[in-house]
Structure 1
């Protein structure tokens, strides 16, 4: 059995956005709702794996019961996806990190004051952690090298597109096809088009194209309403497999 928890579902600014009085941010502030920066916790047996280490990692791990983290997978070198890694300092030994070689090369420079236990992984070549098979797949996030992730265990397949626009490479579409659960970057509302990200409608359409059995839109800005269908919520947890 595998547990997948959305530690955060927001974009780099989070929701509520500092200083914003839009209806989404106002409601969030009034009732104590928020979207922390997007990251995912995967638990199987006694082992816990993170996909990305957001700037909100400390709060996210406390909310998840302060689990010991056994490994980290980084999708790309943007602040909102890696900068919480230092939150392991004086909490636990820095966990080993996995990612595509360009990502680990870059972040090795950022964290040159830490002896990173780095394990480069080539996209489309599976590797195993905690009895789970992980595979990276390159997505399209100009001009930055970025990977999505697929993981499989206990007869279940889960995918995450990470930051991407809708022009996924065909090989990555094949990798992400037929997921039991799929998380998709959907940063903006339908009236906004952006060359680096999908908007909400594009993410929903992509879930259909990839024949996902279930999906959630993540990495959302404060312009995505709280009552929209298919959105992921911070703390939402999925129990998958036998």
Structure 2
């Protein structure tokens, strides 16, 4: 299993339009502070799955040199929730791949369908906490807490004894049934939108994300959905496991 962080930025990305803070300045110079919006590519020997479809999806596919065979670039898309920075790039499949298989809970898919129905995706409704198989991997959606979204989700990915957990967008108030499912991951990909000195009701800050990693007994943690409020990446990453665009994790199943 191979996991690529296609985009590690928050809803506005870094650099933020019109901002000259240190992180945005570093991003404009081409540093790792440059962050496209959130998407994750999951690959196995049998295919590719996207978790969320960033507004920057076209740029991400071109940057990673993702090829398409017989009109197929990915074997499916999993949507975690209906915020625009997590689904609006789906339109980048227009005239590239038709009838994309998309997966998510009914509330998420029905909401997103209002905006992407013209692309005619093939909808697959998924139940919370019930595993389903794609590209030879097992996926499970679990509920997190990301107000005002009614039922935002995270994703557990399994291959053999390997377990990867994606928190999705969430604050620290994750239901216990979800925390039990998330326990003991080999890799925790955790929402951490801001540094410790800042608190946002909808997301975890980096301190809360690291606390969650300890509580879950995560072997490795990488922070994502990062804002420009962090110091430039090369400085901040000396103290925190910040993700960066194009970062790859590989596991033997």
Aligned to 2:51: 51
Return the offset for 1:194.
Answer: 1.3
Aligned to 2:2: 3
1:63 aligned to 2:63?
Answer: yes
Aligned to 2:81: 76
Q: Secondary structure at the match of 2:174?
A: coil
Q: Secondary structure at the match of 2:189?
A: strand
Return the offset for 1:46.
Answer: 4.0
Unaligned runs of 5+ in 2: 68-72
Q: Distance in 2 between matches of 1:88 and 1:112?
A: 13
Return the offset for 1:196.
Answer: 0.6
Q: Distance in 2 between matches of 1:194 and 1:163?
A: 12
Q: Distance in 2 between matches of 1:211 and 1:62?
A: 36
The aligned runs of 1:51-130 (5 Å cut-off) are 51-67=51-67, 68-130=73-135
Contact 1:88 1:94 in 2 (8 A): no
TM norm structure 1: 0.97
Contact 2:98 2:121 in 1 (8 A): no
Return the offset for 1:155.
Answer: 2.0
1:21 aligned to 2:20?
Answer: yes
Return the offset for 1:15.
Answer: 0.6
Aligned to 1:232: 243
Q: Distance in 2 between matches of 1:133 and 1:50?
A: 14
Aligned to 2:42: 42
Q: Distance in 2 between matches of 1:211 and 1:32?
A: 31
Q: Distance in 2 between matches of 1:113 and 1:27?
A: 39
Deviation by residue 1:15-50 (Cα, 9 ceiling, x = unmatched)? 111110001111111235411001100110140000
TM norm structure 2: 0.92
Kindly report structure 1 stretches of 4+ aligned residues shifted beyond 6 Å. none
Return the offset for 1:71.
Answer: 0.3
Q: Secondary structure at the match of 1:111?
A: helix
1:134 aligned to 2:139?
Answer: yes
Unaligned runs of 5+ in 1: none
Contact 2:90 2:116 in 1 (8 A): no
Q: Distance in 2 between matches of 1:220 and 1:78?
A: 16
Deviation by residue 1:87-112 (Cα, 9 ceiling, x = unmatched)? 01111224200001100111112222
1:241 aligned to 2:247?
Answer: no
Deviation by residue 1:76-96 (Cα, 9 ceiling, x = unmatched)? 000000000010111122420
Contact 2:8 2:39 in 1 (8 A): yes
Contact 1:128 1:134 in 2 (8 A): yes
Across the aligned residues of Structure 1 and Structure 2, the Cα RMSD in angstroms comes to 1.1
Aligned to 2:70: none
Return the offset for 1:166.
Answer: 0.4
Contact 2:98 2:120 in 1 (8 A): no
Q: Distance in 2 between matches of 1:3 and 1:94?
A: 25
